[in-house]
Amino acid sequence: MDNLHPADGQNLASNLSNDQNNESYKLSENNDSKQDIVIEKKDYESFGFDVLIDEAKNLLNKYPVNQIRNHIEQIKDVFRQKIEHDENLKKEAFLADGGDVLDFKYENSYKSKFAMVYNDYKHQISIYHKENEKQEKANLVERLAIIDELKALYTEQNESNTQMFKSFRDLKTRWHNAGRIPASNAENVFKNYFFHLDNFYKYLDMNKELQSLDYQHNLEVRYSIIKRAEELVAEENVQKALNELQYLHRLWKEEAVPVIEEKREETWQLFKSLTNKIHDRKAILNERIKNEQNSNYEKKLEIINKIKEIASTANKKSHVELQKAIKEINDLRDSFLTVGRVPKDKNNKTWDAFKEATREFNHIKNDFYKTLKNEQQDNLKKKLALLEIAKEHKDSRDWNNSVKVIKKIQNDWKNIGHVPRKNSDKIWKEFKETCNQFFDRYKNRQNEFNEQFEQNLVLKTDLLNEFKTIQLPENKEEALNLLTSLNSKWNEIGKLPSNKTEINQEFTKLYNEKLKSLQLSQHQIQDFKLQTLIDQIISNKDSRTLDEEIRKTKKVIEDLEKEINQLDNNVSFFANADANSPLLKDVYKQIEEKRAKLTDAEVKLRTLYSVEF
């Protein structure tokens, strides 16, 4: 058995550093034995306000507060950027609606919710530091006690060799697990420990039985460390492997020395080669992250240049063109916020360039809409004047003159242009209702129409009775042609007395029953009914029904879009869910069904808009 030099004890840390030539291998003697927890990295830029807040809450509830700083700060930065983006969008809408920039006030309920979570984090980290300081002082007491016991072990020599060896191993294990101590005491305490450890090894040199026991135990520890390092080479999570590797190096230094001479270099080189393999994987990972961040940086620069290009011609655009440019800018903003992280040294510079480019565009746009606001106020005055004219003729009995006036002001209304959005719907509704009241009276101005309505009732009654007895042909195309013909005849007959309109519902019910009997697909039925409705509107020149159908269809589209957006947001909560999850499948099924309905509604709206009398 070889003679162990004392340097194997006190100077082992420096020997490790000289052999390894890699700063990341070094271990501070004051490191805690606890390993850092590996927290999954997520694309926070793609999350909405509510999801970011939930992520911050989840970090606070699931992980130690001292392990989540980087993630919390990333979430805070992304949240701040999204708040600025949202504020700009709402400010743009406010100004485009005719508001004054001095009157704009931004409100977002998510700000206070996030502030509560972030303040909770600051409170918890403060408590952690206080408790950690208290624990470090307790650890200092423990380490000083261990040093005193180690000193007594070789100076008093009151135990048998076997018991002394056991006590020595227990002291080393206690030292390994003692935890951090205050930084101001660390250097002296550890020097003192290694001084007495060196003295014990000198004593050990003179006691071959103790030395043999120590060599054998330490060699077993080395082999167990090497075995675990081999497992870490295959660990998928590189950061987790690196964290545990750091712990293994400390364990090697404190629990796996000395060993017999012929095994010392052999085991160290094996452990060192495994360490290099793990760090090679870290280098590959860092290079991939670096390439991704550089790629993101190039993408963000490209977006900034596009924004600058749009801003450079913004002052030459019309209202329609500027609205298109605003949409493009908003899309570019969204893209910028979802691109991903860039190199840390370029992050602030990139964000400042992005804000400057959008600020330049906003300045030009705001100037444009200040001018437009004045024009819209003038248009509002003109339309209010036309509304007053409509009110003057609403109850007129000078039919020939008033109908010309009403038709003229309707045409003038179309040519005036936009008014402030907050007034637009209200004034248009009032103008339309006023004109409709006149035309309702105009249409009912002659009583002879009532005789025609009664005759229409007779004709429709005969046609309904005939329809009840008709058997549809087996050929579906012929049957549809027959239904179309009957429906056209029904519509051509004209209006009925106001108290006899229930016959229309009876005809419609029978018509639907006949149509259903053809066993057509739902899509075919929808297309056929839509075409029938269009034919009816055109035949009757029924602009009121047309307008009402357009309004209802728009409402259907708006509701479906909201429902689809809500379902899309719900999907984000299933980011880590199994693709075969029944709940996730049901959400996707709902989205698919609603998108199909949305497509049908959009087709119907385009068809209605194409109607010409």
Segment 40-64, tens digit of pLDDT: 777 787 788 888 888 888 888 888 8
Q: Kindly report the number of other CB atoms within 10 A of residue 411's CB atom.
A: 9
* Helix 161-177 and helix 238-255, axial crossing angle in degrees, nearest 10: 150
User: CA 124 to CA 134: how far, in whole Å?
Assistant: 15
Which residue from 335, 424, 434 is spatially nearest to 391, judged by alpha carbons? 434
Amino acid at 495: K
Torsion of CA 299, 302, 308, 314, to 10 degrees: -90
pLDDT at 7 over 50: no
The CA-to-CA distance between both ends of the chain, in Å, stands at 110
Q: What is the DSSP letter of 387?
A: H
Average pLDDT over residues 485-509: 86
Question: CA 242, CA 235: separation in Å to the nearest integer?
Answer: 10
DSSP state of 32: -
2 has pLDDT over 80: no
Q: Which two tokens stand for residue 60?
A: 């606070």
Which has more confidence, 126 or 200?
126
Structure confidence at residue 36 (pLDDT):
56
Q: Measured between alpha carbons, how far is 346 from 341 in angstroms, rounded to an integer?
A: 10
Which range of 81-90, 414-423, 551-560, 591-600 scores highest in mean pLDDT? It is 551-560
* Contact predicate 215/167, CB 8 Å: no
Give the count of alpha carbons within 13 A of 526, CB side only: 12
> 498-522 burial, b if ≥16 CB within 10 A, otherwise e?
eeeeebeeebeeebeebbeebebee
**Closest listed residue to residue 482, CA positions, set 448, 532, 444:** 532
- DSSP SS3 for 396: coil
Q: Which among 50, 476, 6, 529 has a CA at the least distance from the CA of 257?
A: 6
- Confidence (pLDDT) at 576: 65
What gap in Å lies between CA 584 and CA 587, rounded to an integer? 5
Place of tokens 């230094």: 253
Tell me: pLDDT of 222 over 80: yes
Joined together, the tokens standing for residue 143 give 């380490």
Mean pLDDT value of segment 127-152: 90
**What pLDDT shows up at residue 228?**
92
Q: Residue 434: pLDDT band by 50, 70, 90 thresholds?
A: very high
**Confidence band of 12 (pLDDT split at 50, 70, 90):** very low
| Alpha-carbon distance values, 586 to 251, 414, 470, 577 (Å) | 51, 47, 44, 13
Which of 162-166, 240-244, 270-274, 331-335 comes out lowest in average pLDDT?
Answer: 162-166
Radius of gyration of the chain (CA): 41
The average pLDDT across 142-153 equals 89
Helix (H, G, I), strand (E, B) or coil at 157: coil
Mean pLDDT, residues 107-127:
88
pLDDT score of 146: 92
Answer whether 307's CB lies under 8 Å from 361's CB. Answer: yes
CA–CA gap between residue 539 and residue 492 (Å, rounded): 7
Look at residue 98 and tell me whether its pLDDT is greater than 70. Answer: no
pLDDT-derived band at 551 (thresholds 50, 70, 90) equals very high
Of the pLDDT bands very low, low, confident and very high (cuts 50, 70, 90), residue 516 is confident
Based on DSSP, count helices (H) and strands (E) in the chain, helices before strands: 20, 0
Q: Which amino acid is at 11?
A: N
Query: In this predicted structure, what is the pLDDT of residue 3?
Result: 33
Give one DSSP letter per residue of 191-251, joined into a string.
HHHHHHHHHHHHHHHT-HHHHHHHHHHHHHHHHHHHHHHHHHHT-S-HHHHHHHHHHHHHH
In this predicted structure, what is the pLDDT of residue 6?
35
**What number is the average pLDDT over the span 578-594?**
80
| pLDDT score of 433 | 92
What is the overall mean pLDDT for the chain? Answer: 82
Q: Contact at 8 Å (CB) between 556 and 601?
A: yes
The Cβ of residue 258 has, within 10 Å, a number of other Cβ atoms equal to 21
Q: Is the pLDDT of residue 448 over 60?
A: no
What pLDDT shows up at residue 253?
Answer: 83
Q: Which two tokens stand for residue 107?
A: 């409100």
435-463 average pLDDT score: 81
Give buried/exposed letters for 159-189 (b at 16+ CB in 10 A, else e). eeeeebbeebbebbeebeebbbbeeebbeeb
φ, ψ dihedrals at 380, nearest 5°: -65, -45
Q: What's the pLDDT score for residue 402?
A: 87
Q: Is the pTM of this model over 0.85?
A: no
Residues listed for the chain: 613
Tell whether the model's pLDDT for residue 246 goes beyond 50.
yes
Is the pLDDT score of 481 beyond 90? no
Position 27 scores a pLDDT of 33
CB 251 within 8 A of CB 176: yes
What pLDDT was estimated at residue 207?
67
pLDDT beyond 60 at 564? yes
